[in-house]
Structure 1
Amino acid sequence: MRRSILLLLFVGACGLGPDDELWILEQAWRQAEEIAAIADNLLLPARTDEFFDRHGRRD
């Protein structure tokens, strides 16, 4: 939440238009997803991906 507020303040201070704001938010979202994927993998045993590849995933 804090990061979102700081991002909005930055965008407003730079005088960016709506398209620029959307691009910045999309980039921030992609970075957050990458970080989340890394964090998720830190908590799993080493061969978890191999297990799911062999047996399938249940989402």
Structure 2
Amino acid sequence: SRQEGKWTYYQISEKGSAYAIALFKELTTPNAVREETIAAIDKSHLNDGFKTAE
């Protein structure tokens, strides 16, 4: 993270971004289709998808 005054800036890695997109699609898809895609999303990346700004 990078701090400027009272603001802290964060950056999401490509891996975290891909996970966020897949999760958003899974959450906004009707249940009939959602059940098929749950297995395709690797939930283990939930907490490791962030990196600090350089």
TM-score, normalised on structure 1? 0.35
| More strand, by proportion | 2
- Which is greater in Rg? 1
Higher relative contact order (CA 8 A, sep 6+): 2
